[in-house]
Amino acid sequence: MAPGVSGALITTVTALCVAIPAMFGYNFLVTSIRGIIVEMDNFAAELASEFEHKYVDHSVRESTFRR
């Protein structure tokens, strides 16, 4: 093999040895972050619902609707 082709193949193999594990790590982190975002969104919705039930007056007033 020519020295240029040999060097290119070695460089390609080295790059793949770095890129493939990096892609697995990236996908793992993205999946973890998405899961955390879903958990935080659910918590925020539950918290807002709890505040609404505790602090918002849900009684209907007759005078509000009669004119």
35 lies in some domain: yes
The confidence score (pLDDT) of residue 40 equals 99
Total-model pTM: 0.65
- Residue-wise pLDDT tens digits, 30-59: 999 999 999 999 999 999 999 999 988 877
41 lies in some domain: yes
Domain hosting residue 34, numbered range: 15-54
- Number of domains observed in the structure of the chain: 1
1 lies in some domain: no
65: pLDDT confidence band, cut at 50, 70 and 90? Answer: low
39 lies in some domain: yes
- DSSP string over 16-58: HHHHHHHHHHHHHHHHHHHHHHHHHHHHHHHHHHHHHHHHS--
67 lies in some domain: no
The confidence score (pLDDT) of residue 64 equals 57
